[in-house]
Structure 1
């Protein structure tokens, strides 16, 4: 498989569930040539599997605080993640995870979806659901940055 999609997030924390929702959508009706991994809130569990696959492209999708409007989607330079995102719901900082995988993937793309509400037992907002649907629709025929702007 030349493309791996790593979906990150916690579905029990409102908009942080964008990644797991995307994984569910792909499981129900796959789009394009992607092997989909639901990394949940501990995506580091998938490192060994991704390393064995040596994908040409690794796309990581996560709800990400970028200071934008809720539901906005951006490609984020992995080198900027450590400086930008001090708060995380994950066990390991994503920049560390990305650094581990850069050696094993031809291209690593980090795609952030701007959340509105991240808190235990909050429902996902409609804007983030719509953004997740947009990402899902663009998986088929993905080229370059998938048509998304860079932050």
Structure 2
């Protein structure tokens, strides 16, 4: 519904249809803070958050963002709660929090997702089963 901002939900859909590796998937949508209790209950060793994130890059570029830098970077978000608050809450119980940003092209009501963003989501999806470290993506 929000064009390229649907990158995370698209990845969740793909994983629900054909899981990759041993990831447990939550579709946080516009209010990922609703899933904090369920995630904490699972006590995962690793948590990956994937979101369309305006980083000033070319559309579809993927970067690993240090969770400690999210607030300082003032990443633009369409979520109800700033992502740095969410990450700070989760880091209390999870050792490894990975934030994967996909540079969107068009974020607006009723726009379709652009091909570059779909391709970026497919790239992340293809690496999930064998994910190690940064998944082979560059840091921001």
CA contact (8 A) 2:53 2:76 kept: no
Q: Which moved more, 1:82-91 or 1:21-30?
A: 82-91
Question: Is 1:32 the equivalent of 2:21?
Answer: yes
Question: Is 1:143 the equivalent of 2:127?
Answer: no
TM-score of the superposed pair, with normalisation by structure 2:
0.98
CA contact (8 A) 1:54 1:106 kept: no
- Superposition RMSD on alpha carbons, in Å? 0.8
Question: Is 1:54 the equivalent of 2:43?
Answer: yes
Question: Is 1:112 the equivalent of 2:112?
Answer: no
| Higher RCO (CA < 8 A, seq sep 6+) | 2
Contiguous gaps of at least 5 residues in structure 1: 1-11
Which deviations, in whole Å up to 9, do the C-alpha atoms of 1:70-116 show, x marking residues without a partner? Answer: 00000001111112235321000000000000011120000000000
Pick the aligned partner of 2:114 from 108, 125, 141. 125
Counterpart of 2:77 in structure 1 is 88
Moved over 4 A (4+): none
Q: Secondary structure at the match of 1:112?
A: strand
Question: Is 1:17 the equivalent of 2:2?
Answer: no
The structure where strand makes up a greater share of residues is 1
TM-score of the superposed pair, with normalisation by structure 1:
0.91
CA contact (8 A) 2:8 2:27 kept: yes
Contiguous gaps of at least 5 residues in structure 2: none
Tell me the number of residue pairs that the alignment of Structure 1 and Structure 2 aligns: 140
